[in-house]
Chains A and B, each alone.
Chain A
Amino acid sequence: MHLPTQLSALLLVALPSVVRAVFQDEVGHIDYHYELLGLPQRETTFFHKPRRDDKASLLYTLSDVGVLGAVNPSSGAILWRQLLNGTITDGGGFLRAGEGQNWLASAYGQSVHAWDAVNGRNKFWMDFAGEVKDLEIMEMTENNRKDILALFDENESTVLRRLSGNDGRVVWEFKETSGDVPLQVSTNVEKVFVISLRGSAGAYNIKVTVLDALSGKREDELVIGTKADVHDKDDVILVGANSAAPIIAWTDDVRQKLRVSVLGQKTRQEFPLPADTVSVEIHAPHLVQPQPHFLVHSKTSTGHTAEVYHVDLRTNVITKAYQLPFTSGPGAFSTSSNGANVYFTRITDKELVIFSSASDTVLGRWPLKTSETRLVAIHGVSEVVKKAGTDSYAVRSAAVTDTDEWILIRNGDVAWSRPEGLTGAVAATFVEIPESENLAKTLEQEAHSNPLEAYIHRVKRHLEDLQYLPAYLNNIPARLMSSVLGTEVSTHDGKLARDSFGFNKLVVLATRRGMIYVLDAGNHGKILASKRVFDLPKGQKWAAAGIKADDSTGIVTILGTNNDETIVKILPGTSFNMEVFSKGPEGSPATQSAALLNTVSGPRLFPVGLDGELQGLTSDVLPNQVAVVRGSDRELKGIAIADGKQTVSWTFLLPKSQRIVDVATRPSHDAVASIGRVLGDRTVKYKYLNPNTLVVAAVDESTKVPSLVIYLLDTVSGQILASSKYEGVDPKKHIECAMAENWFTCTYFGQYRLRDGAQSLKGYQIVVSDLYETDKPNDRGVLGDAENFSSLGPIDAPGDVPLPSVVSQTFILSAPISALEVTQTRQGITSRQVLAYLPETHGIAGIPRMVLEPRRPVGRDPTAAEAEEGLIKYHPAIEIDPKSVHTHQRDVIGVQKIIAAPAVVESTSLVFAYGIDVFGSRVAPSFLFDILGKGFNKVTLIGTVLAITAGVMVLSPMVRKKQINALWGAPM
């Protein structure tokens, strides 16, 4: 079978008829996007001039989620981004820039890469065997080229490679198998230093291996100090590089003494730290030209202070120059250099001060002017410029705050702030704006009193409502104008209220850093509030086991995996308010997931322990419920609940060779408009609509060719309703399933030979299965018109099992997809789309159900009846049409999950995606059939009516005159 390319091109053209693309003028109106980097890390953030002769510098960072990006410091706009690892990372990585170079060097995991600083394109990308431990730029080389030094830990041996800055070629390599822990690499003008830790945990010595920069040959090996005085590798605070006299500094584990040594020297000097120091940071310039001065920033629990030290280049003696006053409260320091001058910038919660490294005179002082009550900078980078011809200075500092924001302070003013804390989101949900409960209450009251009283009460209430009439009337002209001109007018003056279309919903978003955000989906995703729920210890992440929103009360419950529970209460009213009650995380992870159970007071989340046991069950849990929990890698358990007690009612155990990769259930809101599908000949195929079903995807790696097995389970009885096996599925690539209504879909990478042996396939695939009550139309199977149905029943009467009839079809996709979600609308009348993230092209595509239709006729054109039903001829490939991409030309990176919620209008489903970037939009899979879109031109409409009126006004006297003339005219 040879299919010409024109056919796929034709398909591209044909598809737009079934998909609804975004109109250009809807961009930014129906959708919103936070283009984010993640929180900048202290060591991998800096100002750098991408062009040697240009004065302008850009802000570069490699963030804690693994995004490398360039930001324009004057506007805060992103110029380019690269997601280094392809997914969200847990911090780490290295980023350096050579002075005056138009490229950046970065490293993550096992690879070292270089990027063009202006346009973000790759210069080279080299993969190695070991893990990168440090990265440094050699500022001075023999051939005027700046090279990269990369330190690797390769199976217990330390490997240092010098890579050419032009193409990443290895210039020389130094390998040492000593069992020491490689720590960092440093260089001064002529030597390269490899710093490693010798000894055992708790008692390390610092070993410095001196190498010749030209050849990479070992020249010397020094062990600093005789006592094993390094407790942990985190105690080594700084290994300076590229400075005229690079230093190494470390502390004892109780933070009482600071030990500093100039690299290449055997001696070390000791300085006392202020009492009660909790942590120490050192700030020093990373260039050859500036004076070798450095600043030691000591933080205590109540405040912070700093000391400035100078290194004598001839004697290598370190002396303390001056001490800055102790200030209570938090603070951050940063370094900036200009020629030989070194400046230190101090940001406290009240002001921004700059000093010279030579003396403690204040060069500039600006009080912080922020809208927020208190600005707490955690760390930052600065750029100090001396104004020409004057003694005054200008400074701009980019700082990370304790509320996970990245702000730029220009001479004391906050120039911009980026909500980088939205990255690393772990859970999100839509929640309705809580209505004021008064109206509901009065209505209820009226219903219960006698008719006359109720009537009087009602009249009174309406009379009272009259007081709002003038304001309403006042508003009419503005609303009319905005409606005609298409401009947006906030009718609620900051007040949150539901709208008649149901677009004004809130999104509650929880991030792994322990922050909660509330976004207004109806107002371009504006951040209404943010709050830190708890301070997590370093290295710990907040993970959510479950999230649930109660639309009537505006309460969102988040269950964490560490036995923690957070309740976000959104209060109605004029100003937005969020209350957070949290039981902070305790101990080690103890929760695998959360089960949603109905209680007397409505559905509530209950944590599921690691052993698969429901915790905290109360007696108000309604009986006859089954919760499905994960056991081991290949086990699912159904837990029946009665009277606050739980019993395992069934166990689904996969064969030893299989393991579960994904489980999908029907969404909690899954409205079904019709119980059957009307075929072209007016017969009906009845849908198999069992609410207690779930899909389990398992991979079997026992055979030579791994396979994917998909099971459809009844959650009440644990019975397998249907199963199918797909051979040649890659278990290392993403496998995911989604389920809705009477169908489910799974995506995977397949490579196999067809059963007939004639053809083989390779590519990303999607399989979709429809479930019907029977194979035949107009037949409801064994259950017939029975009103009741029991999942447990079939076991008693074998042979009468109402198993669904399954129709499946597989398609090849043009790109891998992940984060599957099905659109949801209020009544389920609108056709559905499978929303999926495209991890390679960074977009969210909506694949229409019409395309993913297992009943599409194969190998022939649809008959008239089938065409009437809307079936199109089967074509094995689904090209992801750009017109079906809801994110259009936006670059949305790192989406982990997509959530959908119905609006009040049937046509529209609200969509929200989170992960690294945050994106939200409105999707209308069957076009906007119930509201007027932006395309409805009211100006034209009014213009046309006016033109016709004018025409009638002009023509009617003429016609009348003519008629009269005709009647009076003499016959000829």
Chain B
Amino acid sequence: MQLLTTTLAFLASATTALAALAPQTSITITLPSTPPGDTSGKLFVFPPSTHGTLSTFGQTKSAPLSVANTLVFRNVTQGSYLLDIHCPTHAFAPLRVDVAPILDGVEGDGHGEAKLEVKAWETYRGNDWDNKGEEAPRQTLRGGGNGGVVFGAKVLGEKGYFMERSKFSVLSILRNPMILLGLVSMVIFLGMPKLVENMDPEMRAEWEENQKKNPMNALMGGGGAPAASNFDMAAFLAGTSAKKEESSGDAAASTGGGAQQGGKKKRG
């Protein structure tokens, strides 16, 4: 594990009165220039209101997003901090950042010479604070800079603020099984007679013969098979229908005739 220490010498404000009080360091967080899944091709993806906060008991430090896609926290003193990155468009993983003096440092005399060690881990909200995840790898910035220790921030994903309104589409209606059933039966209802008409006479006769033999087909075939009305379900299920074929046909014919008479009466 590589340890990186930062000294006050970097700091622009090292000469100020603030620096004399307690050892301080700087922490830089780099944000990816293009978050995963971003296809907009924009140079600056994160809006300027993006910023980070380092919070611990008694203090909160805030750092705005810089031109170089970084957040620079300056004058950070010893402590264990919760780092949150607040962005209106993307969600970031929180980090635990510990700033602690190096115990075995011989120069650590507290007079601007002390060295601080900065470490960062993933942290899980609602869990034990000591339940640290993977240690965040340290990075080096191109061109150096005075930003102290550098860590990378992890984008969890883009924030979706809106609910999707279910859109009306003909396809979604057609996908409905009830509609599908209806359509199939309609096709049979309209298409079957046409099909039957177009058959050559022999085929047709054969087909009609089959129709008579199979009472279930008669049910499906619509009005073409008068046998339906006289279908003996019990007999069919009992498997005895084959022998009674002829007689059932006669019975069907007679009932059919009755219906015709009824029709005539109505007309008259």
Contact = CB atoms under 8 A, between A and B. Distances in A.
B74 interface: yes
A24 B256 CA distance: 63
Interface string B158-180: 01111101101000000000000
A234 B64 CA distance: 34
A140 B71 CA distance: 30
A119 B222 contact: no
8 contacts: A16-B163, A121-B44, A759-B131, A761-B128, A840-B86, A876-B126, A962-B222, A967-B263
Interface in B111-152: 122, 124-131, 133, 145-146
The 10 A-B residue pairs with the shortest CB-CB distance, nearest first, are A877-B126, A966-B223, A876-B126, A120-B48, A888-B161, A759-B128, A122-B64, A882-B159, A971-B256, A877-B125
Interface in A380-429: none
Contacts of B94: 814
Interface of B: 12-13, 15-18, 44, 47-49, 51, 53, 55-60, 62-67, 72, 74-75, 80, 82, 84, 86-89, 91, 93-94, 122, 124-131, 133, 145-146, 156, 159-163, 165-166, 168, 190, 208, 212, 222-224, 226, 252-253, 256-257, 259-260, 262-263
A20 B60 CA distance: 32
Contacts of A121: 44, 48, 64-67
B67 A122 contact: yes
Contacts of A20: 163
A82 interface: yes
Interface of A is mostly: mixed
A128 B66 contact: no
A221 interface: no
A968 B161 contact: no
Given A121-B48, A840-B53, A24 B162 contact: yes
Contact of A80 (B48, B122, B190): B48
A751 to B, nearest CB: 5
A972 interface: yes
A730 interface: yes
Contacts of B65: 121-122
Nearest to B212: A972
A287 B93 CA distance: 47
Contacts of A963: 223
Nearest to A966: B223
Interface string A457-494: 00000000000000000000000000000000000000
A845 B3 CA distance: 41
B260 A967 contact: yes
B268 to A, nearest CB: 14
B145 A128 contact: no
Nearest to A705: B57
B129 A759 contact: yes
Contacts of B127: 1-3, 759, 876-877
B219 to A, nearest CB: 14
Nearest to B14: A170
A50 interface: no
A168 B64 CA distance: 15
Nearest to B16: A129
A674 B168 CA distance: 39
Given A5-B124, A126-B74, 14 more contacts: A22-B161, A22-B162, A82-B49, A121-B48, A129-B18, A169-B146, A170-B15, A730-B57, A759-B129, A762-B82, A840-B53, A934-B165, A965-B223, A969-B224
Contacts, number: 192
A25 interface: yes
A751 B56 contact: yes
Interface string A866-903: 00000000011101001101001101000000000000
A876 B129 CA distance: 13
B64 A125 contact: yes
Given A759-B129, A889-B89, A965-B223, A840 B162 contact: no
A751 B51 CA distance: 23
A804 to B, nearest CB: 28
B162 A23 contact: yes
A842 interface: yes
B201 to A, nearest CB: 14
Interface of B is mostly: mixed
Nearest to B51: A840
Nearest to A941: B168
A907 B141 CA distance: 53
Contact of B75 (A21, A82, A127, A875): A127
Contact of B48 (A119, A885, A937): A119
B149 to A, nearest CB: 17
A935 B63 contact: no
Contacts of A163: 12
B62 A2 contact: no
Interface in A79-118: 80-82, 86, 113, 116
Given A5-B124, A876-B126, A883 B163 contact: yes
Contact of B131 (A1, A879, A891): A1
A812 B125 contact: yes
Nearest to A840: B86
Contacts of A154: 17
Contacts of A8: 124-126
A815 B84 contact: yes
A151 to B, nearest CB: 14
A565 B253 CA distance: 99
A167 B84 contact: no
Nearest to B69: A121
Given A167-B145, A962-B223, A86 B128 contact: no
Nearest to A16: B163
B96 to A, nearest CB: 8
Nearest to A888: B161
Contacts of B126: 3, 8, 811-812, 875-877
A971 B253 contact: yes
A751 B57 contact: yes
Nearest to B253: A971
Contact of A23 (B122, B129, B145, B165): B165
Given A3-B126, A21-B163, A122-B66, A732 B58 contact: yes
A733 B58 CA distance: 7
Contacts of A811: 126
Interface in A915-955: 934-935, 937, 940
A763 interface: yes
Nearest to A129: B17
A879 B125 contact: yes
A193 interface: no
A811 B146 CA distance: 38
A967 B86 contact: no
Nearest to B173: A944
A357 B59 CA distance: 53
A762 B95 CA distance: 12
B252 A971 contact: yes
Contacts of B53: 840
Contacts of B256: 971
Contacts of A962: 222-223
Contacts of B18: 127-129
A843 interface: yes
Contacts of B129: 759-762
A121 B128 CA distance: 35
Contact of A123 (B67, B80, B252): B67
Contacts of A877: 124-127
Given A126-B12, A126-B13, A23 B163 contact: yes
A60 interface: no
B64 A82 contact: yes
For A121, A163, A167, A758, which residue has the most chain B Cβ atoms within 10 angstroms?
A121
Contact of A127 (B48, B74, B159): B74
A333 interface: no
A116 B67 CA distance: 7
Contacts of A81: 49
Contacts of A442: none
Contacts of B131: 1-3, 759
A21 B260 contact: no
